[in-house]
Structure 1
Amino acid sequence: MAQGPKSTEDSSESAVVDIADVDVIAPNFKRRLSGVTSTIIQLVPVQRALGYRVAALGPGLPEEIPHIRFRDLFRLWRAPRGRKNRVWHARRNVEMLPAILMRDVLRMPLKIVFTSASQRRHTGWTKWLISKMDAVIATSGRTATYLTVKNTVVMHGIDTRRFSPPEDKAVARLALGLDPAPKFVGCFGRVRHQKGTDLFVDAMIALLATRPGWNAIVAGRATGPHIEFEKQLIEKVKKSGLADRILFVGEHTNINDWYRTLDLFVAPQRWEGFGLTPLEAMATAVPVVATDVGAFPELVVTGEDETGSVIPANLDAMIAATAEFMDDDARRNEAGACALRHASMNFSIEGEVRRLGAVYDRL
């Protein structure tokens, strides 16, 4: 007999994993959605699909993510089936400290891994916590330079099936209610000063006035104190007379479909921990103009086989680099093809999972 839909409680229970079958615990001790939370949400299902016995722990995660419960921690004195110890993969200070207590005070058979995405020197407290780790991962070469302990660089990957080129760009645009005729340049992510949304808008006001064949898209959400910042940008665009060509489309869960409408992507951040948007664009065969922050210089290839440009985070540089790609169809198309190859070969999420797995196995 057919069964009705499961209740939320049933769904949550169905995703609970027996801790005896968990080799790696991925704690998430922060309720608010963040880059770390997003990383765990994306990684755990792929890790399990590839045979790694991983489960999440903590609030702020979708109920369908395979997870253990806090009461299961009392069973950590027993090693998992077929292993001498478990791995606790922390990504924040608040997740390192309890693991140190469980391993060193309660003598639970744990090995602790910490992933750092920091773009600055660590505080003394954080350095002390990191010094107690069994293994440390840096998300980029730049991040590794801020660590004073031995570490392994494992860069983030993306779902290269979800982020992939459209069969027909005009059809992709029509599906989202866009005019299929002009070319589009986009800037996706949270709308705020740190993310450089104002740099992108100012660059578009300068560039689109003399390029009638181009439009621009700003996709992303403004929250809290950044709502007024977004309102000011929208008002600036209206005053420029380009409100019908510089489009603020808000936040979308199908952001991969919006990438498929683009011919060029700009990552205008003033600061970034890692930053996935250039990879998402490149995997969609879209070249990237990115500022020299976070991991961007390690993601975007310049020179031979270029996938885009890396520039200082200032308006003049952004206008110049973006104009070069907008005005050169051949260069832009070749860079897009190189971008697709580069992202597919080097930045799949499956590749990230296997590199993480190698760190776990060494422990």
Structure 2
Amino acid sequence: MSGKTPESGFRLRVRDVDVVAPNFKKRLSGVTSTIVQLVPEQSKTVAIAALGPGLPGMLPKLRWWQVPGLLRKPANRPFRIWHARRNTEMLAGVLLKQILRAPMKLVFTSAAQRHHSRYTKWLIRRMDAVVATSRRSGSFLRVPYKVVMHGVDTERFHPPAKDGDDWQVTGLPGRYGVGCFGRIRHQKGTDLFVAAMIELLPRYPDWTAVVLGRVTAENKGFAEELQRSIDQAGLSSRIVFLGEVSDVRPWFRRIDLCVAPSRNEGFGLTPLEAMASATATVASDAGAYEEMILIGETGEVAPAGDGVALKQAIQRYLESPELCRAHGRSALRHARSRFPLEGEANALNALYKDLWREART
């Protein structure tokens, strides 16, 4: 690999790339966020590059015109690894390997917590290695797999360190903040969070709730109905929709409690980002939330879709800001010891090296 420039990112020769991480979705998603954070960490020890639209300039990546170069063996390995995370990316890998005869092994990371379609199963059976992001997602696979849970960048997500990390800088009322992060839609349980806040906030005047996330066109009516409920309750100044902010990280440090109320989730990074920011979390048991939260030490977990249980779990923290701080401190230790981003990167790189080692033996 050669140098980089802010304008063009890393300049790569295809022959020097041993691992390709395709990202075939232009709109920002959890998968895209994972790739953007993970690839630079992996690149410290493996020659990896991303491929696809909408990726930041500083990310090591290949251009579309370089794809034909993947049909030739890399300079330093017996074959190249194509690490897919979506069906479209698996299919592209299968076409490259089986139709175009590219010297390549295929790896797939599965975060889904549901039974896969016949088509997805067909694709997964053609992978050379499969990764599950949690024990639960692995339970839906019918092939051998390795669990590698996502990590969090503990340099980008960190505890409060300056005045801008205080709740007071927001200009919102109250002394404490409780936040819900993610796209505004039914699947994410935004309505469950709003309903809990409408019931609880009148009893806890020191608290204000914020909702951060994008509203897509198909969910505009859903968001408008939530706002009407808030207005009717007279809480429009204390349950505030902030939309999609340019940098969400300071908000994890400003709030005292993070709520992740998803009804359905693939993995879900929000609790990890909150924990790395020394913030306690109440989450549903969707995704991998239950596997990352130490119940009663770093946060609480409620059954997915159960608004009553969610409200009760939140109430314990609203009653005791000191409990928030204590669990936030424990959460920080837990995130740094159990979920550092380099741990995920090292585990994936070790899997690649096992594939290359098997080829040599």
Q: Under a length normalisation based on structure 2, what TM-score does the superposition of the two structures give? A: 0.92
Structure 1 range deviating more: 55-64 or 110-119: 55-64
For residue 158 of structure 2, the aligned residue among 158, 161, 164 is: 164
8 A contact 1:16–1:69 mirrored in 2: no
**CA shift for structure 1 position 71:** 3.1
The percentage of aligned residue pairs carrying the same residue is 50
Question: Any unmatched runs of 5+ in structure 2?
Answer: 356-361
Identify the residue that residue 26 of structure 1 maps to in structure 2. 21
Identify the residue that residue 321 of structure 1 maps to in structure 2. 313
Cα deviations by residue, 1:19-76 (Å, 9 ceiling, x for unpaired): 111110011222333222222222222222x232111112232333221123323223
**CA shift for structure 1 position 79:** 2.1
Pairing 1:107–2:101 present: yes
For residue 148 of structure 2, the aligned residue among 151, 154, 157 is: 154
For residue 349 of structure 2, the aligned residue among 338, 357, 361 is: 357
**CA shift for structure 1 position 320:** 0.8
Which runs of structure 2 are paired with 1:243-322 in the superposition (5 Å)?
243-303=236-296, 306-312=297-303, 313-322=305-314
Identify the residue that residue 3 of structure 1 maps to in structure 2. none
For residue 224 of structure 2, the aligned residue among 231, 250, 273 is: 231
For residue 323 of structure 2, the aligned residue among 316, 331, 341 is: 331
Cα distance in 2 for residues equivalent to 1:102 and 1:222: 37
Structure 1 range deviating more: 55-64 or 138-147: 55-64
Cα distance in 1 for residues equivalent to 2:243 and 2:266: 23
Structure 1 range deviating more: 197-206 or 226-235: 226-235
Which runs of structure 2 are paired with 1:113-262 in the superposition (5 Å)?
113-167=107-161, 172-179=166-173, 182-262=175-255
Cα distance in 2 for residues equivalent to 1:149 and 1:62: 34
8 A contact 1:282–1:336 mirrored in 2: yes
Pairing 1:92–2:86 present: yes
Question: Any unmatched runs of 5+ in structure 1?
Answer: 1-5
**CA shift for structure 1 position 101:** 2.7
- Amino acid corresponding to residue 150 of structure 2 in structure 1: H
Cα distance in 1 for residues equivalent to 2:336 and 2:99: 44
After superposition, the Cα gap between the structure-2 partners of 1:254 and 1:77, relative to the gap in structure 1 and judged at 3 Å, is: closer
Cα distance in 2 for residues equivalent to 1:265 and 1:340: 13
**CA shift for structure 1 position 78:** 2.9
State the number of aligned residues: 350
* SS state at 1:83 partner: coil
Over the aligned positions, Cα root-mean-square deviation in angstroms equals 1.8
**CA shift for structure 1 position 330:** 3.8
Cα distance in 2 for residues equivalent to 1:26 and 1:324: 42
8 A contact 2:256–2:321 mirrored in 1: no
Identify the residue that residue 358 of structure 2 maps to in structure 1. none
Cα distance in 1 for residues equivalent to 2:64 and 2:23: 12
Cα distance in 2 for residues equivalent to 1:98 and 1:263: 44
